[in-house]
Amino acid sequence: MRTLPATPAEVDSWLTVLHQRGHLHRAQSGPDTTWVVQRDQRSRPWTLHHPVLAMDWIEELVREIQQQDPETSR
């Protein structure tokens, strides 16, 4: 359970790592703590509008990645 709210820097870090490891086609910071993410080249871009909402989306993506490849959960 989190004790501190998510920060824009934390979201940027997570999105950078996910993008570098090939789990995101695109991850771009926008104005006013928003981020535009795209899972693959053919998928629709999503706009994440707040650090807390962005971290929820990231958590869901990480869980999905772990289910696809149990080795990543180690």
What is the residue-wise DSSP string for the chain? --SS---HHHHHHHHHHHHHTTS-SEEEE-SSS-EEEESSTTSPPEEE-SHHHHHHHHHHHHHHHHHH-GGGG-
pTM of the predicted structure, to 2 decimals: 0.85
Residue 1 or residue 45, greater confidence: 45
Q: For the residues 33-40, what does the mean pLDDT come to?
A: 95
Give the tens place of pLDDT for each residue, 6-16.
Answer: 999 999 999 99
Q: For the residues 20-34, what does the mean pLDDT come to?
A: 94
pLDDT above 70: residue 27: yes
